[in-house]
Structure formats: structure tokens, C-alpha cells
């Protein structure tokens, strides 16, 4: 990730959080546009408002909860998932802080299912409510198991999202909770790109593909195959593909933002000159002709010739000697540059 000014990082992080909020709630049918989502969040009213506005504020707060949880290194547990869901599903004033409960049995004659909004037919029938507690216990145990932790983080996050959606432990908000949990797993494993990325916008642009890959042509009833799919590859390949698209977009945005804020002196440097300046910044300010020659795999005499032009431009100056230069230092006009200015991430090494 290219180094960016703190204010730009803050701007990108807020923009990504807005998009995650907008698109994750849009998947569930929230009608608000991106600007309306931003306005609803900025209002931050305590009084009861429109349900659509409440939904986006809830998800925004859920992402804030995950950010805090990451800093505190909160492990994933059933209580953690229930708390996350309770924030996502706040109703009214938004002051409820207790954990959600798993769904219970439905009334006689009522089938708990995910229905097609057009045909009214069940698209998916989750497990019986009585089975949910044990399924969630097993799910959390797997998420924290050595086998799961040995998997690449994107695979672990993708499986977790699928399994939580499949168990469908709550009456509502399961999709938002599953996507938020996947985001948390990626973030604690260092895959959040400083919070700049938003996978949800790509799901929304391909909702049919999203649902198709989740369903994988499996039977409607959980117990007929959804409980133990023969192959999760279709969903996981899709999940990783969406990650790739989101990450590529972050890279493009960061590159453009970096170019807009790059020091004009750096723009004027030729490739060789950039390397020399970097060497000087990493070598405590002084470097020998021999060290420069080794970097370019040329003889010292060649460096002596190149150095004449670099001195003329003010990029370097003799640090010792005038007739026979033993070391060079960075030129006064460039002495305040840092590795970050050159596009490198500075470390303590």
C-alpha cells in the first residue's frame, strides 16, 4: 500500500465504510442511495425515524463495533456474533445493547424460510430452530479451530460467511451479519487494506451471481444437502474473485491519490536518481561511490561520471573531499525528503 497523508487515509476509510454500509443493506432491499445513506448516518438521530435510515445507521455502528473489537483483539464467540447482530438489528431509538437471541420455533402452520420476492416460493429452508444452538456452537468451534486457522484468511472468511448464512440463526439480518463477520475475519488477519476496501458494492452489481454462487444448485432444504455441501469451490472462488476486484480498485484509488499528493521534486527525478536518493535515505545520509556502483552493477568510474550530473542538479553533494570524492550526501534541496515521499513504506529497521 502506497503511503498516503493521514487526512487522505481518513477520507478513504470513511468512503469505504459508507459503501460497505450502503451496499450491504442494499443487498437486503434497503432503497436508500449512497448520498441518502451518508445523510442518514450524519444525522445520527436518537428518535425513531424511517426504517431504511435506521438500518444503515445500525450497519455503520456495527462496522464501528468491529473496528473497536479488532483493536481490542476480541475473539469470535457466540456472544460476539449475538452482540454484532443486536447492533445490526436495533429498532427504534437504537439504545438496545443486549445480545440477540437465536430464533425460536415458528407458529404452527408457518414455515420459516427465505422466500422468492417474485414467486413467493421458498428459495431456502434453514435448519429447525431446535438445532440452531448446537449448530452455532459447532460453527464457532470450527472458526477458532487450528484447522480453520491453518487456512488462508480469505478461505476461512468465505467459509464462515457461507456457514452462518446457511445456519440462518436469527429471524432477520443474517446476511448482513454474515458479511460483517467475514469482514472481521479478514481485518484481524490483515486483509482489510487499512479499511479502504468494500466488497459489498461488487455483490450488488452482480446480485444474481451472488445468490447463484451461494446456492450452488443445492436443494432448498438444509437437511437435503445444504448442511454438508460436496464442494464449496464455486462459492469460495466467487468470494475470492470479489476480493480481488475490491483490492484492485483500492490499489487504483491509492495510486491516484498518491500521485495527487506526491512531492513535485520527486516527480522530476529520473529512475536512477530515485534509487540514489533512496540509498542515501537508508544509509544514514552518506554513501560511497562503490556502494552506488554495486546498486547499479557498474564500475565506480561510471558512477563518478553520473555523479557530475546529479551534483549539477543538486540531488547529491560531496560529503568528503573535493578533488577525490570519497562519499556523497543528499543535496540540500532534497534533504527533507523521506522514504514515504518516494513511495516506500518506512520501517523501524
- Averaged confidence pLDDT in the chain: 86
| 195 annotated to bind ligand | no
pLDDT computed for residue 112 by the predictor: 92
pLDDT computed for residue 274 by the predictor: 87
| 92 annotated to bind ligand | no
How would you class 22 by CB atoms within 10 Å of its CB: exposed for 0-12, middle for 13-18, buried for 19 or more?
Answer: buried
Separation of alpha carbons 89 and 173, rounded Å: 7
pLDDT computed for residue 310 by the predictor: 94
pLDDT computed for residue 348 by the predictor: 41
The angle at the Cα of 346, spanning 343 to 349, to the nearest 5 degrees, equals 145
pLDDT computed for residue 156 by the predictor: 97
Q: Tally Cβ neighbours within 10 Å of residue 70.
A: 15
pLDDT computed for residue 316 by the predictor: 92
| 285 annotated to bind ligand | no
| 174 annotated to bind ligand | yes
pLDDT computed for residue 44 by the predictor: 65
Residue ranges in the chain modelled with pLDDT below 50: 1-2, 46-48, 94, 345-349
pLDDT computed for residue 343 by the predictor: 63
Cell of 117: 420476492
- 50 phi and psi, to 5 degrees? -65, 145
Separation of alpha carbons 225 and 207, rounded Å: 23
pLDDT computed for residue 159 by the predictor: 97
pLDDT computed for residue 10 by the predictor: 75
For residue 319, what is the enclosing H or E element? Answer: strand 316-320
Catalytic residue numbers? 168
**What domains can you pick out in the chain, each with its CATH number?**
6-259 (1.10.3290.10), 264-342 (1.10.10.10)
Amino acid at each position: 500500500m502506497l503511503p498516503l497523508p493521514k487526512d487522505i487515509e481518513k477520507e478513504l476509510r470513511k468512503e469505504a465504510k459508507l459503501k460497505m454500509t450502503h451496499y450491504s443493506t442494499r443487498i437486503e432491499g434497503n432503497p436508500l442511495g449512497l448520498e441518502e445513506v451518508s445523510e442518514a448516518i450524519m444525522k445520527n438521530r436518537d428518535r425513531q425515524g424511517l426504517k431504511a435510515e435506521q438500518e444503515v445507521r445500525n450497519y455503520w455502528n456495527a462496522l464501528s463495533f468491529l473496528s473497536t473489537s479488532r483493536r481490542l483483539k476480541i475473539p469470535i464467540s457466540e456472544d460476539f456474533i449475538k452482540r454484532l447482530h443486536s447492533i445490526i438489528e436495533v429498532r427504534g431509538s437504537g439504545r438496545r445493547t443486549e445480545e440477540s437471541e437465536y430464533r425460536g420455533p415458528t407458529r404452527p402452520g408457518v414455515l420459516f424460510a427465505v422466500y422468492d420476492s417474485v414467486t413467493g416460493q421458498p428459495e431456502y429452508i434453514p435448519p429447525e430452530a431446535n438445532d440452531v444452538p448446537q449448530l452455532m456452537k459447532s460453527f464457532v468451534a470450527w472458526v477458532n479451530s487450528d484447522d480453520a486457522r491453518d487456512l488462508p484468511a480469505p478461505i476461512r472468511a468465505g467459509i464462515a460467511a457461507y456457514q452462518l448464512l446457511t445456519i440462518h440463526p436469527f429471524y432477520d439480518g443474517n446476511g448482513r451479519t454474515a458479511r460483517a463477520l467475514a469482514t472481521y475475519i479478514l481485518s484481524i488477519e490483515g486483509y482489510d487494506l487499512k479499511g479502504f476496501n468494500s466488497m459489498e458494492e461488487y455483490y450488488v452489481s452482480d446480485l444474481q451471481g451472488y445468490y447463484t454462487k451461494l446456492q450452488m444448485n443445492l436443494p432448498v432444504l438444509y437437511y437435503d444437502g445444504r448442511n454438508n455441501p460436496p464442494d464449496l469451490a464455486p462459492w469460495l472462488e466467487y468470494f475470492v474473485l470479489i476480493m480481488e476486484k475490491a483490492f484492485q480498485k483500492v490499489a487504483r484509488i491509492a495510486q491516484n491519490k498518491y500521485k495527487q499528493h506526491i512531492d513535485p521534486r520527486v516527480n522530476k527525478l529520473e529512475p536512477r536518481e530515485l534509487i540514489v536518493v533512496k540509498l542515501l535515505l537508508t544509509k544514514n545520509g552518506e554513501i560511497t561511490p562503490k556502494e552506488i556502483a554495486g546498486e547499479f552493477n557498474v564500475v565506480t568510474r561510471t558512477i563518478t561520471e553520473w555523479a557530475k550530473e546529479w551534483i549539477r542538479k543538486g540531488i547529491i553533494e560531496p560529503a568528503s573531499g573535493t578533488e577525490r570524492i570519497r562519499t556523497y550526501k543528499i543535496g540540500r534541496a532534497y534533504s527533507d525528503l523521506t522514504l514515504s515521499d518516494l513511495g516506500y513504506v518506512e520501517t523501524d529497521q
